[in-house]
Structure 1
Amino acid sequence: MSRVQPLAGAGAPAPGGVRVATVVGFLVFIELVSGVIQGMMPALLPELGTSLGVGAGKLNWVSSAQLLAAAVCVPLFGRLGDMYGHRRLLRVGMVCLAVGSILVAWSPSFAVLLLGRVLQGPLAALLPLEMGLVRDRLDPEGARSAIGMLVGALTVGASVGLVVAGLLGEVTATVHGVLWVPAAVTVVCVGVVFFLVPESVTRARATVDWAGAGLLTVGLCALLLGIAEGPAWGWAGGGTLGLFALGVVTLVVWVLVELRVSQPIVDIRLSAKRNLLPVYGGSFLLGAALFGSQTAASLFLSSPPEKVGYGFGYDSLAIGWTMLPWGVAAFLASTVAPRLYRVLAPRTVLGLSGVFMAVGYAALVLAHGAVWQFVAANSLTGFGTGLALSAMPALVLDASPAERTGVATGIYNTAKTLGGSVSGAVFAAILSAVTFAGTDVPTESAYTTVWWCCAAVSALVALAAAVLARAPGVSSPATPVPALAGKDLA
């Protein structure tokens, strides 16, 4: 697959007379909105659960459904964007996001809410498509600068979204009223993409692995549904075992298909390389801890201590302020990481990230009765997460063949979102199973079990870094690559 890369400066005109710098500004706006949407949802989950009459366990599916859709959308949209134009797929993604956001805001039932979250799956594919657009228009130095701005907008948006959700809750009557605001803004973003963003000009000769995408979706859905519903249906029940069997058989067939097609949606052979497999394993584990713990944290903060004996009884605004230090710590870590690379190898930074996260989650288990304890422990996990999100793309770039970096980083991003989907289903099962007698309200030990799981998973991230340190062919790049780091935050 060959591509001819046209080079242009930031001030060069794009088709239609719009300057590239202006186009980058439009894309930055889209990423800022994307970050705000991602940041708002964890803070609003407790109120959504109350509004729809949904228990804590099932609320994990609000994140898992979107992450599962993202795991399939990212490689699929990336491939289609290379073939048919990044703006064209960006338009498709933004329309899906707008429709999904409207359904989430309306959501008269939990089923409609989940459908909306599935349609928001392309949210994770927006940044890679935007990266393709700027790489198509700018020289390498200009592209790095533009991608850095896109990543920064996404990071800032995610942090701001935590607080924005609460501030909007102060001036609207219901949680659905809050959600109509980002839904309206996504419609504006659709107009931006359709009328103000030019199309990329290079095209790749490729095919789409539709069979692989379908098999991966069916297999994962069956496994995750079996995990989530196991406590209610019984782990030895026919429905649970049937779903597990369907999931395993489908995923085995999927692997066989991926090994046979020339351009698979996930390159199994590349993934299995000794100097990449630990990174992909670590990214799966990172996603499990990062995404899987968000719902539990929000639900814990919103729990009324006078009724259940734990939590702080916070509303969405207080949840946002309490979670904000996590986002700030992650952002600081991502800015510190480039300086660390001058004295430490990226794999060492990855090992440190696992240690920070493991210590943070363990501290959360041992001390969470005061707000300052929760914030301090959560800030440690945020700092570790920021280090990991910076180190992993650099490791993928260093270990992958030069002509296959796009495929390699796509696998990394898919593994991360899959980790979040799986952990979301597992934690949903835990919060549904460990409850007060005769209720669907989780006990305090349900949350500590989730945090212990996150601590164990984080320790395995450090172990993956240690395994990588002994793998042959892994060197230490002088600096990380912002273009790749951008995919980590989507």
Structure 2
Amino acid sequence: MSRIQPTTGTGAPGPGATRVAAVVGFLVFVELTSGIIQGMMPTLLPELGTVLGVGAGDLNWVNTAQLLAAAVSVPLFGRLGDMYGHRRLLRVAVLCLAVGSVLVAWAPSFEVLLVGRVLQGPLAALLPLEIGLVRDRLDASGARSAIAMLVGALTFGASAGMVVAGLLREAISSVHGVLWIPAAATVLCAGVVFFLVPESRTRARGRVDWAGAGLLSIGLATLLLGISQGPKWGWTDAATLGLFAVAAITLTAWVLVELRVAEPIVDIRLTVRRTLFPVYAASFLLGTALFGAQTALVLFVSSPADKVGYGFGYDALGIAWLMLPSGAMAFIASLFASRLFKLIGGRGALGLSGGLMAIGYLILIAAHDEPWQFVVVNVIVGTGVGLALSAMPVLIVESSPHERTAIATGIYNTAKTVGGSVAGAVFAAILTALTFQGTEIPTIDAYTTVWWCCATVSVLVAVAAAVVARPAKSAN
């Protein structure tokens, strides 16, 4: 059900092969920049909260808003990329990212910051679009290597972004000044995508499921708003219950629409395959531990122990160095992931990743009074994250139809970002509910509750890996 443009065969040798090798390098640069942007934001969050006068609970919305936009934009961009060309949608995604980054850098208020973060949502669509492009332009072996390089660049960029943010903050007088640096980098990425990346050649037929995109947006937004505002309004308040009712009705309608339309924005039938559903479930769970806990971690280590009884009072650079081992180990794990796949397979690597993350969070619950304890935990959790981020795309690509690569990978990213956004709202509710009396400052119990949640979902990642069915035949 797809048509191929009249070009040379995928992965054909000759001048095209050299061109494709160069393209992978350009895309690695884009993912590296994407990772740096993602890594910088958590490091700068505590100071942004101080500058804009935002409390710990509301700060979770800085990540949640971006993840919510990503949850919708990833499948939408993936579908449009399959239909109209992955480079074309890469261009649109990078332009949205550039505008959003400018707004984040300028943001005179919390509301403007949130708008900028929403516009940064398509950042999450870059990787699935790039995976669709390289799978179209390369043979199976080359595509797997390219995917590993892209994931590695993203994870390395995320860890480097933490340190870059801290170092820039030492040299630049304001947090907003620091944020203008990644804003400028997105403009350079736009030039790379517009002028140096070729278009993919495979096209899927059909229509865009705009109704599904709209229903998903409304359903997730009302669900997350209800979760985050529940502690403030009261869980039995009419407004809270009304939001949950709207979310339930809208998401139910969304599922029914997705099952009826020929080309859904999220192919639920594709999602529930035994070869894919456990991986998507693990992606959702990984997102809750990876994205949902970021704000809580940086707020904890930046808290002054002499005033609240926990934390280290670190500034942006201190936060960066403390969090660096997590990103560094994720990058190192991604480099060696392909060798590990040969020994224990993708399922085994995914199961191992869940076990490592669970161990890390359990250690953190028991020991969090010294910085070195966070370093140990970040090494363990970062290794698990790197293995999971490398294993999931490979398992999905090998189990999905060729013409559905971008949308199948997009569902993975959607599941991951939805998990992060839901966890962000839940953790915001926890940090808002468990506070010192008469203040908005979370207690230590709030943070340990968040870490218990992360340990639990990490165990479930390992469980999901154990029930992944092997595909009858790997997709080429």
For 1:476 and 1:304, locate their aligned partners in 2 and report how far apart those are by CA, in whole Å: 55
- C-alpha separation in 2, matches of 1:384 and 1:146: 21
- Would the aligned equivalents of 1:346 and 1:476 in 2 still touch at CA under 8 Å? no
- Paired residues of 1:365 and 1:452 also in contact (CA < 8 A): yes
The 5 A counterparts of 1:297-446 are: 297-400=297-400, 404-446=404-446
CA deviation profile, 1:75-120 (whole Å, cap 9, x unmatched): 1111112222222211111111011000000111111111100000
User: Could you state the TM-score of these two structures normalised by the residue count of structure 1?
Assistant: 0.91
Q: Say whether residues 1:6 and 2:9 are aligned partners.
A: yes
Q: Tell me the amino acid that sits aligned with residue 180 of structure 1.
A: W
Distance (whole Å) between structure 2 residues aligned to residue 138 and residue 358 of structure 1: 36
- SS of the aligned residue for 1:341 comes to helix
Cα drift, residue 402 of structure 1: 6.1
Contact persistence 1:85–1:201 (CA under 8 A): yes
In structure 1, what is the Cα distance between the partners aligned to 2:422 and 2:299? 19
Cα distance in 2 between the residues matched to 1:167 and 1:330: 21
Q: Structure 1 residues 193 and 270 mapped into 2: Cα distance closer, same or farther (>3 Å)?
A: closer
Which residue in the other structure is 1:488 paired with?
A: none
CA contact (8 A) 1:9 1:142 kept: no
**Structure-2 separation of matches of 1:351 and 1:147:** 20
Q: Is the 8 A contact 1:11 1:19 kept in 2?
A: no
Task: Give 1:401 deviation, angstroms.
Answer: 5.4
8 A contact 2:78–2:407 mirrored in 1: no
Q: Which residue of 1 aligns with 2:216?
A: 216
Q: CA deviation at 1:153?
A: 2.1
Contact 1:363/1:377 (8 A) holds in 2: yes
**Corresponding position of 1:187:** 187
CA RMSD of aligned residues (A): 2.3
Letter of the structure 1 residue corresponding to residue 305 of structure 2: P
The alignment partner of 1:344 has SS state of helix
Report Cα offsets for 1:218-250 as digits up to 9, x if no partner.
000000000001111111111110000000000
> 1:77-476 maps to which residues of 2 (within 5 A)?
77-400=77-400, 404-468=404-468
Unaligned runs of 5+ in 2: none
The range that moved more, 312-321 or 153-162, is: 153-162
- CA change 1:36–1:432 in 2 (3 A) is same
Post-superposition shift, 1:346?
2.7
Instruction: After superposition, give the CA deviation of every residue in 1:175-222 in whole Å (9 maximum; x if it has no partner).
Output: 111001111111222233233333334433221010001100100000
Output the amino acid matched with 1:442.
P
Aligned length in residues? 473
Alpha carbons 2:71, 2:414 under 8 Å: kept: yes
- CA distance in 2 between partners of 1:404 and 1:196 (Å): 25
Query: Using the alignment, how far apart are the partners of 1:333 and 1:226 within structure 2?
Result: 37
Q: Is the 1:230–1:240 contact (alpha carbons within 8 Å) kept by the matching residues of 2? A: yes
Q: Which residue matches 1:57? A: 57
Counterparts of 1:93 and 1:358, CA distance in 2: 34
Q: Contact conserved, 2:101 with 2:116, CA < 8 A, in 1? A: yes
Deviation at 1:330, TM superposition (A): 1.5
The one-character-per-residue Cα deviations of 1:435-456 (angstroms, maximum 9, x if unpaired) are 1111111111111110011011
Q: Which range is displaced more, 107-116 or 133-142?
A: 133-142
Rate the CA distance shift 1:379–1:256 in 2: closer, same or farther, 3 A: same
Q: Gapped runs of 5+ residues in structure 1?
A: 484-490
With 135-144 and 255-264 compared, the bigger mean Cα shift is at: 135-144
Structure 1 residues 23, 359: CA separation in 2 closer, same or farther (over 3 Å shift)? closer
Q: Secondary structure at the match of 1:200?
A: coil
Residue type matched to 2:233 in 1? W
Q: 1:460 to 1:333 in 2, by over 3 A?
A: same
**C-alpha separation between the residues in 1 aligned to 2:181 and 2:412?**
32
Q: Distance in 2 between matches of 1:338 and 1:25?
A: 19
Contact conserved, 1:11 with 1:21, CA < 8 A, in 2? no
| Counterpart residue identity of residue 78, structure 1 | G
Contact 2:124 2:413 in 1 (8 A): no
1: CA distance between counterparts of 2:211 and 2:230?
A: 28
Report the Cα distance in structure 2 between the residues aligned to 1:222 and 1:20, rounded to whole angstroms. Answer: 43
- Once the two structures are overlaid, the 10-residue window that deviates more, 79-88 or 306-315, is 79-88
Q: Do 2:125 and 2:410's aligned partners in 1 also have CA atoms closer than 8 Å?
A: no
What is the CA–CA distance in structure 1 between the aligned matches of 2:25 and 2:343, rounded to whole Å?
34
Paired with 2:313 and 2:194, the residues of 1 have a C-alpha distance of 43
Amino acid at match of 2:456: A
SS in structure 1 at match of 2:204:
coil
Change in CA separation of 1:142 and 1:401 when aligned onto 2, cut-off 3 Å: closer
Three-state SS of the structure 2 residue aligned to 1:203 is strand
CA deviation after TM superposition for structure 1 residue 143, in Å: 4.0
CA distance in 2, matches of 1:140, 1:272: 24
> Does the 8 Å contact 1:258/1:265 carry over to 2?
yes
8 A Cα contact 2:169 2:175, kept in partner: yes
Q: Is the 8 A contact 1:67 1:417 kept in 2?
A: yes
1:239 counterpart SS class: helix
Q: 1:11 to 1:62 in 2, by over 3 A?
A: farther
Q: CA deviation at 1:398?
A: 5.0
In structure 2, how many angstroms separate the alpha carbons of the residues matched to 1:223 and 1:117?
19
Post-superposition Cα deviations, 1:401-456, rounded to whole Å, max 9, x if no partner, equal: 56655443332221111100100000011111111111111111111110011011
Aligned partners of 1:10 and 1:20 also within 8 Å: no
Give the Cα separation in 2 of the matches to 1:321 and 1:185.
23
